[in-house]
Structure 1
Amino acid sequence: MERVAVEDAPGADSETRRFRSLASALDTTGLAINYFDVAPGEPVGYCYHRHHEQEEVFFVLSGTATFDIEEGDVVVDTGEAIRFAPGEWQQGWNHGDERLVVLALGAPREDGPTDLRRDCPECGDRTPVTPENIDGERVFHCDECGAEMGRFG
C-alpha cells in the first residue's frame, strides 16, 4: 500500500500551472496518474497529441475543461470525465474564468510512442514537434521549419 498527498508528489509548478505525478509518488506499474491545476487561458498539456498505445481518462475535479479534438471542441464540466482511446488526438485547455483541476489517468503507464503537434507561426499550421530539454526547460521546435514553438520550465 502506498499513500501520498498531492502537495508531496513530485512535479513542476509555475505561476499559471501546477503539475504532480501521483504515479511516481505511488510507484504504480501499469497506470499513469497526473494531477493538473491550471489557470484560465492555459493548456493542461503542452501539445496537441495522441498516444499510440495508451488510453487516457480525464476527470474534472473543479472548473471546466475544453478538449481540442479532431472533430472540434468538447466541454467537460466539474464531476464529468472524458476518455481518449489510443490514437485519438487531443489537448485539454482551461477556457473558463476559474482554475481548472483535473486528474488524468492513463494505461498502460509507459505508453510508448506519442505524436506531438503545436501551432507553428512560421508554417501557419499545426505541425509535428520534437521536445528537447535545454537548461532545465522543455523546448519545442517545429519538425518542418525548425522554428521554436514554446518553452516550459
Structure 2
Amino acid sequence: MNRVSVDDVKNSIQPAAVMRPLTDALGLTDVAINYYELEPGDSFAFAYHSHEVQEEVFFIISGTATFETADGPVAVGPNEAVRFDRGEFQRGWNRGEDTVRALALGAPLEYGTQEKLRYCDACDAETDTDLSAAADGEDAVVAHCVECGAETGRWYRGSMDGEVP
C-alpha cells in the first residue's frame, strides 16, 4: 500500500495554480493521477490536445470546469466526471469565479503521440505546438509554434495560461 498527502507533493509548472502529480508519489505503473486547483482563467492543459493512447477522466470535486470539445463547450460541475477517449480533442478551463478542484485520471500511463494545438499570432491560426523548458535556464515551460517557431505561451509555477505572474 502507498499513501500520500496531496499537500506533500510538489506543485508542477502548469497553466493551473496547482497541479500535483500523484502518479510517482503513489508508485503507479498503469494509470496517471493528477490533482488540480484552477483559479479563474486557469486551464488543466497547455493546449487543446488529444492523446493517441490514453483515455482521460476528470472528476470535479468543487467549482465548475468548462471543457472545449469538438462539439462545443461542456460544463462539468461538482461530483461530476467527464471522460475523453483516445484521439478526442479537449481542453478544460475554469471560466467561473470560484476555484475548481479536480482529479485527472489517465490510462494507460503512456500518452503516445500527443497533438497540441494553440493559436499562433504569427501564423494567424491554430497550429501544433512544441513544449519545452525555457532555454535561458529560467524555471518555466515554453510553447512554440511548430510551423514558424514563434513563442505562443510561457508558464511559471502557479501562473495562468501563458502569463507572467
TM-score (norm 2): 0.88
Offset, 1:11: 2.8
Note if contact 1:131-1:138 (Cα within 8 Å) is conserved in structure 2.
yes
Note if contact 1:10-1:22 (Cα within 8 Å) is conserved in structure 2.
no
Greater fraction strand = 1
Give distance in 2, aligned partners of 1:102 and 1:45: 13
Give distance in 2, aligned partners of 1:27 and 1:14: 22
Counterpart secondary structure, 2:24 = helix
Report the RMSD for the aligned CA atoms in angstroms. 1.6
1:2-81 superposed matches below 5 A: 2-12=2-12, 17-81=17-81
Percent identical residues = 44
Structure 1 alignment gaps of length 5 or more: none
1:55-134 superposed matches below 5 A: 55-134=55-134
Q: Tell me the amino acid that sits aligned with residue 117 of structure 1.
A: L
Offset, 1:127: 0.8
Note if contact 2:15-2:43 (Cα within 8 Å) is conserved in structure 1.
no
Aligned length: 153
The structure with higher relative contact order (CA 8 Å, sep 6+) is 2
Note if contact 2:140-2:155 (Cα within 8 Å) is conserved in structure 1.
yes
Q: Which residue of 2 aligns with 1:145?
A: 148
Q: Tell me the amino acid that sits aligned with residue 153 of structure 2.
A: G
Structure 1 runs of 4+ with >4 Å offset: 13-16
Offset, 1:21: 0.6
Note if contact 2:70-2:89 (Cα within 8 Å) is conserved in structure 1.
yes
Give distance in 2, aligned partners of 1:6 and 1:105: 15
Offset, 1:113: 1.3
Give distance in 2, aligned partners of 1:16 and 1:152: 9
Q: Tell me the amino acid that sits aligned with residue 147 of structure 1.
A: A
